[in-house]
């Protein structure tokens, strides 16, 4: 399988970027009633040159 193939049946989005921004990716753990839910967080952050 090609490592760059796109899963067309899954939700997709694009993140506009500039040369002065980076993407931070991290996971969080949240309690949702009696179970634990895990989420991936993506943040675009401006950096100073």
For 38, the domain range is 16-42
Assigned domain for 4 exists: no
Q: What pLDDT is stored for residue 3 in this prediction?
A: 63
Q: Which residues of the chain have pLDDT under 50?
A: none
Q: What is the pTM of this model?
A: 0.52
Assigned domain for 35 exists: yes
For residue 24, give every residue at least 6 positions away whose Cβ sits within 8 Å of its Cβ, in sequence order, or none: 41, 42, 43, 44, 45
- Domains in the chain: how many in total? 1
Assigned domain for 31 exists: yes
Q: What pLDDT is stored for residue 11 in this prediction?
A: 79
CB-CB contact of 20 with 13 (8 Å): no
DSSP secondary structure of 1-49: --TT---TTS--------TTEEEEEEEEEEEETTEEEEEEEEEEEE---
Distance CA 39, CA 35 (A): 13
């Amino acid at each position: 399988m090609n490592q760059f193939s796109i899963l067309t049946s899954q939700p997709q989005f694009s993140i506009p970027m500039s040369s002065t921004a980076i993407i931070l990716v991290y996971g969080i753990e949240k309690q949702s009633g009696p179970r634990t839910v895990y989420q991936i967080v993506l943040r675009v952050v401006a950096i100073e040159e």
